[in-house]
Structure 1
Amino acid sequence: MANSLDLGLIGNCQIGALIDATSEIVWCCLPRFDGNPVFCSLLSNSAAADRIGFCSVEMIEQIGAEQTYLANSAVLVTRLTDAQGGVVEITDFAPRFRQYGRMFTPTMLIRTVHRLQGSPRIQLHIRPSHDYGRGLCDITYGSHHIRYVSPNGVMRLSTDASITSIIQEIPFFLEDRITLIFGPDETIPGGIQELAQRFQAETLSYWHEWVRDLGIPFEWQDEVIRAAITLKLNTFDDTGAIIAAMTTSIPEAPDSGRNWDYRYCWIRDSYFVVNALNRLGATRTMEHYLSYLINVVAAAPGTQIQPVYGIDGRARLEENEISTLPGYRGMGPVRVGNQAYEQIQHDVYGSAILAVTHVFFDQRLVNRGDTALFHRLEPLGETAIQVHDQPDAGLWELRGTKRVHTFSSIMCWAACDRLAKIATKLDLAERATYWCTQAERIHATICERAWNERKKAFVASFEGDTMDASLLLMHDVGFLAAEDPRFAGTVVAIERELRHGDFIFRYVEEDDFGAPENAFIVCTYWYIYALVALGRSDEARQLFENLLVRHNQHGLMAEHLDVRTGEQWGNFVQTYSMVGLINSAIRLSKRWDHAF
């Protein structure tokens, strides 16, 4: 069967893994999100008998498979059925729970295989690879463990299954339960099965408590909870960074060449994530990200912020093509690194300041923003003033063209606007006046140069005539009031030029790779935001319900959607898309006190 994005995600904010509908682990990087993928069959030929980079439980004479998450958790369960009525249940998770006063997030995946009924016969295929599919790891083993050795390090499998059956891939009857624990090259004290059961119980308890503290809308609760857990799984606890997606090089459309590595922290994307989680009451993610952001800004030369950084805060993300993996469905190239780190994208100054603004106004936080932090933000605002009318690559990261993108300018305005509001909050009257004046000046420039009288709309770039879906956010960031006719005019123009059926394209003009073929999913969510603001909630609700149908079986989404077939494309799971779901549900849901 060809690879698909009908995948489940497990993780613990240190590592993550993607598991297909039959329980094969198709993607997992160690020792962290941007590490070497020990399981990488998502980017290789799934039909090849000698393929490597995966972990599967094959049921002999299998006729059925079903998969679900345990409620309100990141624990995934797959049930396989054979032709004689035998059933096995495979449970996958990465441990995450509080222990000894701190969060325990080991570089560990735990997989248990349990016989539910009949006499199921199974075969284990465990073939971790190294150096992006360059070859199989070397093996050494003992009585209850296998060490997979590579130039990247050692992954140890501790198990109570037959070592011979695993190494030689010999089928066997599953009598009760076996446990597979992938982790560091360390001996596990005590019973393997008992440890797995305890870690599973503790991990379930953690996720149940985390979900219980969320402030969710009345409608679409399951979908919002799954989206929130997914966003949490894309955060890197150690530094506070937030990755855009777990994967690299899933093409935005078939054979498009639009294959990028998303395992890094985009300042823009991270703002959207912390904003969405804050709306649900999950404030710790924002607090951790703030620490990451402040360290990144402090290291930036002359307050010139890049659009993207490594999860460790490193600035250089040199992009290389990998020849050892053919790519998703053979559609290469596979890229590691992202050259976008070299791009000039002026919206990042607004994204950074908008993310930090929460800490000055959110009364739930213990560590609140103060005058010292405000003064550390002001140089970013000064840079926003300098660049607001200068050309850049824009938020869509155009590689061959630069122009003055309207959205970038709007975010520079937002940087100054929020600094004015923060200064007012801190009773810094002189600074409030200064930043308010700068915001007004940038606002006037945008209104003069980005307004297209013929289209009766704001357009993608200064003195331009094309549309850009990011302008749907003009009201959301506070640039225009919902009742401003220019906002409605811009929405109408986007409907006219960028809407294809029930979906919004980010733009339709040709770029470095030709014209976009698929819809960028979050743009339709932005359209829903705009419709709600304009009082067109019935239309918005219908579009939202239509989008939910397009999610995979677990409610997860990639970055792009084929509007003809409904198939997902692009890196997975895409945080942008899950943010759109949360924000749309909050806007559209009935109120709790009006629901009965």
Structure 2
Amino acid sequence: MRVNNLNLWPIGNCQVSALIDENASFVWACQPRVDGDPLFSALLEPKGESALPRGEWRVEVENQVSCTQLYLRNTPILVSRLTDADGGIAEVYDFCPRFPRQGRMYRPVAFCRIVRPIAGSPRIRVQLNPTTDWGANDAARTSGSNHIRFLTAPQPLRLTTDAPVSSLLEGRCFRLEKSLHFFLGPDEPFVGNLGHTVATMLHQTSDEWRDWVRGLAIPLEWQKVVIRSAITLKLCQHEETGAIVAALTTSIPEAANSGRNWDYRYCWIRDAYYTVQALNRLGALDVLENYLSYLRNIVDDAKGGDIQPLYAVSGEPKLDEGVADALAGYRGMGPVRVGNAAYTQVQYDAYGQIILSNAQAFFDERLFRKATIDDFRALEKVGDRAYAAHDQPDAGLWEFRTRTSVHTYSSVMSWAACDRLGNIAEELGLDDRADFWRERAEAVRRTIERSAWFEEGKRFAATFGGDDLDASLLQLVDMRFVEPADPRFLATVEAVEKGLRRGEHMLRYADEDDFGLPETAFNFCTFWLIEALHLAGRQDEARALYSKMLERLTPAGLLSEDTDFETHELWGNYPQTYSLVGLINCAGLLSKPWSAVR
């Protein structure tokens, strides 16, 4: 029986992705893109009976005693070694094709598996049973001598294979005597020699990823952690549009039976900002350029009006939230939500994040497309919205559903929007606009310093006129609102750490929200604390806490959104871009310099 945990290994090609469990089974994958209907839905436990394991693609050896897994170096290509009781060994290579072909990137809606005999005479069973209608039904199928056609939604898929089709259809064991190849992709005849073509795809995909990694500017220490995080962040970008999703999953609860089950397969302006910021530090400009294209379309469609906190990867603004009743949920902990009602919320920090994400494009000569005066004019409309909202209540970055406040984080993002527009205007030689935006920035600063200041504690508060704390106050330096040595910042760090730290972890906030008191720590906030400790000169403490976070990594080297601060078990959607950003940023801050080895 499959163990249901977050020890999952992502594969993908920036069009589709899949999560493979610790027994080499596909348990989650959506098509034709990350926010589509899951053809593999076992992670969220489809209800009802089925002749084959529902929502899975299993490869197992008879009398299996172990499965060891690793990625091919600097790629998202997974190798699983399956061993039976007699020492027989089979290896499974799993990947999604991605490589240049005919002048463009080939990244089909396709999943490839190669199963190779390594030792002994292993007998294997391959069971492929995709679902439709959010886990409600097994996909109807027809078959031929070398293929199985599945009527999945919204488009049918075809498995082409040189394995015995009848054994696949009936889930029968057979002896593995040669390498077998599986290409699950578009519903069309497979052209060419299957074995040769899929093996060539494996090598071309490996070369493409290794070449991308080779261009990263990584720190001396924790290189494997940074590389794996960077690869996975890139997998979270839907390359066709440039959107970056918050995670590859929906409805993994933030804590057991908490009801905090959300669909994260969409592009949050905030999450994407932090993602491109982290990858920029590594020199991965391709992700930034694609995302800026996505943002320009969002801004154009808004026509100077409200910007939502999140959008579909297509740019579609409407993400109505419902429940997939045919799925019991992760460990049976429903509901499984599809869509996210947060798109209707007012979250004013998004205006600042749009401008901060775009600012580099006005200065960076490496970009294929440097931003222009016309782009600046479009961003000024976003800046107008940021300025107008800087002292207005919103749902805040933690997306409270039943209350609003004037959140300090949102207001500081409005300040940053005005400040960066002033910098951009100066770069473009628009002195009058530079003065205009700097005057606005100074006015917002005065408001924040007056209204977010908690005099009794000699520190900043999370909301205007309040005394409350949340971890976003640790971002005041990152947004350049204060200097690291500012006594106000140091006092704020001390208060946040005292109020929100739980051992080796940080809460977002400690007060009750729509679902009661928080039960788990938010991993990204722990990384914010590590950054703040570093900035406060507490370097040894920062490194020690970072080392503790590395102990929480899954076997794939990744993190989800949340951690139980008592048991250290991971919860929340996976892999979480926020958490991977924290791994990258803190490694860059804390690492010894490359000069140490020269």
Bigger drift between 424-433 and 365-374 goes to 365-374
Residue 75 (structure 2) pairs with residue 87 (structure 1)? no
The answer to whether the 8 Å contact 1:319/1:338 transfers is yes
For residues 49 and 479 of structure 2, the distance between their equivalents in structure 1, rounded to whole angstroms, comes to 49
Bigger drift between 146-155 and 239-248 goes to 146-155
For residues 163 and 213 of structure 1, the distance between their equivalents in structure 2, rounded to whole angstroms, comes to 42
Which residue identity lines up with residue 399 of structure 1 in the other structure?
A: R
The answer to whether the 8 Å contact 1:245/1:262 transfers is yes
Q: Deviations 1:462-510 (Å, cap 9, x if unpaired)?
A: 0111101011010011000111100001100011100000111000100
The answer to whether the 8 Å contact 1:2/1:46 transfers is no
Tell me which residue corresponds to 2:20. 19
Tell me which residue corresponds to 1:344. 346
For residues 88 and 50 of structure 2, the distance between their equivalents in structure 1, rounded to whole angstroms, comes to 25
For residues 296 and 579 of structure 1, the distance between their equivalents in structure 2, rounded to whole angstroms, comes to 23
The answer to whether the 8 Å contact 2:37/2:153 transfers is no
Q: Deviations 1:524-566 (Å, cap 9, x if unpaired)?
A: 1111111111111111111111101101011111100011111
Tell me which residue corresponds to 1:572. 574
The answer to whether the 8 Å contact 2:248/2:264 transfers is yes
Q: Report SS of the residue matched to 1:556.
A: coil
Q: Report SS of the residue matched to 1:219.
A: coil
Please show how residues 52-131 of structure 1 align to structure 2 within 5 Å: 52-131=54-133
Shift of 1:49: 7.5
Which residue identity lines up with residue 57 of structure 1 in the other structure?
A: V
The answer to whether the 8 Å contact 1:154/1:184 transfers is yes
Residue 240 (structure 2) pairs with residue 238 (structure 1)? yes
Tell me which residue corresponds to 2:139. 137
The answer to whether the 8 Å contact 1:317/1:337 transfers is yes
Which residue identity lines up with residue 398 of structure 2 in the other structure?
A: W
Q: Deviations 1:264-307 (Å, cap 9, x if unpaired)?
A: 10001111111111110110111111111010111115431000
2:333 to 315, 331, 334: 331
For residues 429 and 190 of structure 1, the distance between their equivalents in structure 2, rounded to whole angstroms, comes to 61
Shift of 1:16: 0.4
2:527 to 521, 525, 528: 525
Q: Report SS of the residue matched to 2:118.
A: strand
Residue 297 (structure 2) pairs with residue 292 (structure 1)? no
The answer to whether the 8 Å contact 1:3/1:46 transfers is no
Please show how residues 447-466 of structure 1 align to structure 2 within 5 Å: 447-466=449-468
Tell me which residue corresponds to 1:556. 558
Please show how residues 407-422 of structure 1 align to structure 2 within 5 Å: 407-422=409-424
Unaligned segments of structure 1, at least 5 residues: none
Q: CA 1:528–1:595 in structure 2 vs 1: closer, same or farther (change >3 Å)?
A: farther
Tell me which residue corresponds to 1:272. 274
Which residue identity lines up with residue 437 of structure 1 in the other structure?
A: E
For residues 159 and 348 of structure 2, the distance between their equivalents in structure 1, rounded to whole angstroms, comes to 46
Tell me which residue corresponds to 1:220. 222
Which residue identity lines up with residue 157 of structure 2 in the other structure?
A: M
The answer to whether the 8 Å contact 2:254/2:571 transfers is yes
Q: Deviations 1:69-119 (Å, cap 9, x if unpaired)?
A: 000001000011110000110000000011111111011100011110011
Shift of 1:28: 0.5
For residues 213 and 303 of structure 2, the distance between their equivalents in structure 1, rounded to whole angstroms, comes to 40
Tell me which residue corresponds to 1:197. 199
For residues 561 and 539 of structure 1, the distance between their equivalents in structure 2, rounded to whole angstroms, comes to 20
For residues 425 and 588 of structure 2, the distance between their equivalents in structure 1, rounded to whole angstroms, comes to 29
Which residue identity lines up with residue 371 of structure 2 in the other structure?
A: G
2:495 to 482, 493, 497: 493
For residues 218 and 10 of structure 2, the distance between their equivalents in structure 1, rounded to whole angstroms, comes to 21
Residue 541 (structure 2) pairs with residue 539 (structure 1)? yes
The alignment's TM-score, normalised by the length of structure 1, stands at 0.99
Tell me which residue corresponds to 1:427. 429
For residues 12 and 197 of structure 1, the distance between their equivalents in structure 2, rounded to whole angstroms, comes to 16
Shift of 1:46: 10
For residues 469 and 458 of structure 2, the distance between their equivalents in structure 1, rounded to whole angstroms, comes to 12
Shift of 1:45: 6.2
Which residue identity lines up with residue 484 of structure 1 in the other structure?
A: D
Tell me which residue corresponds to 1:393. 395
Q: Report SS of the residue matched to 2:196.
A: helix
Tell me which residue corresponds to 1:9. 10
The answer to whether the 8 Å contact 1:80/1:88 transfers is yes
The answer to whether the 8 Å contact 2:114/2:181 transfers is yes
For residues 303 and 215 of structure 1, the distance between their equivalents in structure 2, rounded to whole angstroms, comes to 38
Shift of 1:347: 0.2
- Size of the aligned set, in residue pairs, is 596
Q: Deviations 1:126-147 (Å, cap 9, x if unpaired)?
A: 1101011111011111110000
